[in-house]
Amino acid sequence: MSERDEETVHGPAEGMTVVDVSRALAGPHAGMLLGDLGARVIKVEAPAGDDSRGWGPPFVGPEGAQESTYFLSCNRNKESIVLDLKTGDGASAFSRLVDQADVLIENFRTGVLDRLGFPLAELQARNPRLVVLSITGFGHDGPEAGRSGYDQIAQGEAGLMSLTGSGPGDYQRVGIPIADLLAGMNGAYGVLAALLERERTGRGKVVRTSLLASIVGVHAFQGTRATVAGEVPQPQGNHHPSIAPYGLFRCGGGAVQISVGSERLWQVFADRFGLDTSTTTFASNAARLANRAELTAAIERAFAGMEAEDLLTVLDEIGVPAGRLRTLDEVYGWAQAASQHLITGVDHPVLGTIDLPGSALRFFDPDGAETTRLVHSPPPTLDGDGARVRDWLHERVAGVRR
């Protein structure tokens, strides 16, 4: 991080130092979220680099200096230092980094840090204010604690794939590594809660989460269908399992999505598009769910003569929530996405100026002035900040500056 960067970094986590020894996605995503909030995040990598540096194609950049777009997605606002934790020098430098940190992020399998010589109890004894975020695949204890955690496996084991697909028996994964991303999000907010508690107690603690816990934690109404109603949910394709009509419907120029979430709105919608509300087939939400195929066919007949843009205009006029289906290039070219800072430009030392997906959070003072971190640093090259981090660590240990 350059001096200029330090001057322009803002956010509620400004002044906090995070040592991120995680790799792949769940831990790095948590670290990036904290970096987006203004924390200084020092990414500790093995000599071969984070696994995700090799996850591609696509790779971008000149031959011999190519970067994985996967790595670029989860490592902005970080510095990279290479340390071999199995060597004396690497272990010593890592210990000194942790001594200076507010937060340590790790996602090794249970027991690996102990075998490397860094038991969490010992690290926290050296630095009592240290907050540790520890992410595993299936939990830190229990009969399957030792299992490796990979996103699609967790999506299957935690029931998400059983809910996702075109219909019963057609099980599909979610199109992004949602278990990893949710674990990173849960980890980041757990860290912030532990830091808040540290303000009262003066001591840090260990925050644990897992891919399994993060998927089960968002089962929401599908979970209570199973635990309370005794139903086993099945995939419903692009239609809501509990509300009708709510989903994707074909029209003359493609498709639109609608959400008719109340009986009042259903009456307005049905009147505008000539749907018969007198029949018991569509008389209630429960009836419409039971006759979904007939309902969908009736709606798509009504939509057939309209282009998507014209249809969306009519739906907006009558107050029915609706939207189009955008490809990612359309999302990143959308003025509304840009207005929310969801496209972040950074100057990468190898790739030049590149755009990254932005942070989901914005912050404002009571007077309306935005205090969101808007200047971001690019994902680091391997050991690209090693010398600077070592100099900083030497100064901190020597007591030159805090």
Which of these three, 279, 310, 326, is where a domain ends? Answer: 326
32 with 133, same domain: the answer is yes
Counted domains in the chain: 2
Distance (Å, whole) CA 294 – CA 271: 17
Q: Are residues 320 and 377 in the same domain?
A: no
pLDDT(6) > 80: no
Considering only residues 95 and 253, tell me which one the structure prediction assigns the higher pLDDT. 95
Q: How far is CA 275 from CA 270, 271, 299, 317, in A?
A: 5, 6, 8, 18
Q: What is the pLDDT of residue 400?
A: 53
Tell me: do 296 and 391 sit in the same domain.
no
Residue range 349-362: average pLDDT?
96
| 258 and 212 fall within a common domain | no
Look at residue 110 in the predicted model and tell me its pLDDT: 87
Q: Kindly state whether residue 364 falls inside one of the protein's structural domains.
A: yes
State how far the alpha carbon of 257 is from the alpha carbons of 104, 247, 323, in Å: 43, 5, 5
Question: Where residue 156 falls among pLDDT bands split at 50, 70, 90?
Answer: very high
pLDDT digits (tens, 9 = 90+) for 369-381: 999 998 999 999 9
Q: What is the mean pLDDT of residues 160-178?
A: 95
Going by C-beta distance under 8 Å and a sequence separation of 6 or more, which residues neighbour residue 402? 396
pLDDT of residue 307: 95
Would you place residue 9 in the very low, low, confident or very high pLDDT band (cuts 50, 70, 90)? low
Find the domain containing 263 and state its range.
246-326
**Are 15 and 121 within one domain?**
yes
In this prediction, residue 8 carries a pLDDT of 55
Question: How would residue 243 be classed by pLDDT, with cut points 50, 70 and 90?
Answer: very high
By the 8 A CB rule, do 67 and 350 touch?
A: yes
Q: Which residues are catalytic?
A: 180
In a domain, 343, yes or no: no
Residue 230 lies inside a defined structural domain of this protein? no
**Does 163 lie in the same domain as 113?**
yes
SS (H, E, C) the chain: CCHHHHHHCCCCCCCCEEEECCCCCHHHHHHHHHHHCCCEEEEEECCCCCHHHHCCCCEECCCCCCEEHHHHCCCCCCEEEECCCCCHHHHHHHHHHHHHCCEEEECCCCCHHHHCCCCHHHHHHHCCCCEEEEEECCCCCCCCCCCCCCHHHHHHHCCCHHHCCCCCCCCCCCCCCHHHHHHHHHHHHHHHHHHHHHHHHCCCCEEEEEHHHHHHCCCHHHHHHHHCCCCCCCCCCCECCCCCCEEEEEECCEEEEEECCCHHHHHHHHHHHCCCCCCHHHCCHHHHHHCHHHHHHHHHHHHCCCCHHHHHHHHHHCCCCEECCCCHHHHHCCHHHHHCCCEEEEEECCCEEEEEECCCCCCECCCCCECCCCCCCCCCCCCCCHHHHHHHHHHHHHCCCC
Give the CATH number for residue 250: 3.30.1540.10
> Confidence band (pLDDT; 50, 70, 90) for 399?
confident
Interval 49-57 mean pLDDT: 95
The proportion of the chain whose per-residue pLDDT surpasses 70, expressed as a percent, equals: 97
Q: The domain spanning residue 171 has which CATH number? A: 3.40.50.10540
Q: Mind listing the pLDDT tens digit for each residue in 183-227?
A: 999 999 999 999 999 999 999 999 999 999 999 999 999 999 999
| Whether 177 and 304 share a structural domain | no
Residue with tokens 């540290």: 198
Residue 153 to residue 148: CA distance in whole angstroms: 9
Q: What percent of the chain has pLDDT over 90?
A: 90
> Region 346-366: what's the mean pLDDT?
95
State the Cα–Cα distance between residues 45 and 97, nearest whole angstrom. Answer: 13
Q: For residue 351, is it within any domain?
A: no
Q: Which residue shows structure tokens 């014209």?
A: 310
Supply the mean pLDDT for the chain: 94
Residue ending a domain, choose from 308, 326, 344: 326
Segment 256-302, tens digit of pLDDT: 999 999 999 999 999 999 998 888 999 999 999 999 999 999 999 99
Q: Does 286 reside within a domain? A: yes
Q: How distant is the alpha carbon of residue 242 from its chain centre?
A: 26
Residues 306 and 387 in one domain: no
| Interacting residues of 31 by C-beta distance below 8 A, sequence separation 6+ | 18, 20, 22, 41, 43, 75, 78, 105
Question: Are 135 and 214 found together in one domain?
Answer: yes
pLDDT at residue 401, as a whole number: 47
Please report the pLDDT score of residue 402 as a whole number: 45
Task: Report if residue 350 sits inside a domain.
Answer: no
pLDDT tens, position by position, 62-103: 998 999 999 999 999 999 999 999 999 999 999 999 999 999
Asked, for residue 53, whether it belongs to a domain, the answer is yes
The answer as to whether 156 is a domain residue is yes
Check pLDDT > 70 for residue 308.
yes
By C-alpha distance, which of 332, 341, 336 is closest to 372? 341
Question: What average pLDDT does range 354-378 have in this prediction?
Answer: 94
Given a cut of 80, is residue 44 above it in pLDDT? yes
Q: What is the pLDDT of residue 277?
A: 87
pTM, two decimal places:
0.92
User: Do residues 189 and 312 share a domain?
Assistant: no
User: Cα–Cα distance between 358 and 16 in angstroms, integer?
Assistant: 21
Distance (Å) of CA 389 to CA 9, 17, 33, 291: 18, 12, 21, 63
User: 317 and 373: one domain?
Assistant: no
Q: 124-135: per-residue pLDDT in tens?
A: 999 999 999 999
Chosen domain end from 302, 326, 350: 326
Tell whether 52 and 111 lie within a shared domain: yes
Query: Residue 7's pLDDT is what?
Result: 46
As given in the structure block, the two tokens for residue 324 are: 């189009």
CB atoms within 10 A of CB 248: 14
